[in-house]
Structure 1
Amino acid sequence: MSYEFGFRVRRIDHVGVAVTDLDAALEDYRERFGGRCVHREVNEEQGVEEAMVAWPEGSTQLQLLAPLRPDSPIGRFLDKRGPGLQQMAMTVDDVDAACESLRAQGLELLFPEPKRGTADSRINFVHPRDAGGVLLELVEPAAE
């Protein structure tokens, strides 16, 4: 199937929130909002420990991101802006096609090639200046 932009966005995948204490944030989202942790991992390459929080009746998840070190992207984000909304992610069928199409439109992507993301997904990011001030993550889920 062809798409007008060369790729298809399937849905909003998750919203990323930078936190200083992952365990405390997980407890807050469980106690206050009824969310449950459905996945947790450390991504050394990106310098982050992350957890995905979900609710029974929704498909979009909340990604809590805590830095492994101060010089990681999340560490720098927290130092500059403090805890809070860090990015929005969209599920795409083919992250390579999405990157190619967006670059052809003149948009800046953060990585020359997609990287490994949560649960072995493939990801890249659109620079906020090209996405209305939002750090926009493109997520191609791992093959099942």
Structure 2
Amino acid sequence: MKPSHIEHIGLAVRNLEESIRYWENVFGLQCYRVEEVADQKVRTAFFKIGDTKIELLESTDADGPIARFIDKRGEGVHHIAFAVDDVKDALQSVQEKDITLIDAEPRPGAEGLQIAFLHPKSTHGVLTELCSKPTNEK
């Protein structure tokens, strides 16, 4: 597995609208997409900076993973996501290197990407996401 680039950096936020205003007003960026990913109990907002995106993550459920993250650690960097050719192949590659997987199989994520997470206990404390376009879009 060799990532092509950092796909996005995920930031956990309490209030999506306030956070969007911050990124737009301070950095002059434009939010180009807001999306709810119901099965992950999250609303997302995206900004593009070169080839990399900033993804803001707001919990839609008090017991959701982002809400728990903020309760434990506060707002801030939640994860880093790498673009790979094929998430399924990448998962096999990292598993062969004894990396603990959160997702054994790719699942649908925001922006129509296939995603999977690697457990931070195996990645030196960094929640790591692998992303690829679905195989029919490559």
Q: What's the TM-score once normalised by structure 1's chain length? A: 0.90
Question: Among residues 56, 60, 63, which one is paired with 1:64 in the alignment?
Answer: 56
Q: Structure 1: which 5+ residue stretches go unaligned?
A: 1-6
Q: List structure 1 segments (4+ residues) > 2 angstroms apart after TM superposition.
A: none
1:8 deviates by 2.6
Q: Where do 1:1-144 residues align within 5 Å? A: 7-55=1-49, 58-142=50-134, 143=137
Number of corresponding residues: 136
Once residues 140 and 43 of structure 1 are traced to their aligned partners in structure 2, the CA distance between those partners, rounded to angstroms, is 17
AA in 1 matched with 2:60: L
- Given that 2:103 and 2:118 are in contact with CA atoms closer than 8 Å, whether structure 1 keeps it comes out as no
Q: Which runs of 5+ in 2 are unaligned?
A: none
Aligned residue for 2:40, secondary structure, equals coil
- After superposition, the CA RMSD in angstroms is 1.1
Contact 2:10 2:78 in 1 (8 A): yes
One-letter amino acid of the structure 2 residue matched with residue 62 of structure 1: I
Residues 91 and 104 of structure 2 are in contact (CA less than 8 Å); yes or no, is this contact kept in structure 1? no
Q: In structure 2, the residue corresponding to 1:113 is in which secondary structure?
A: coil
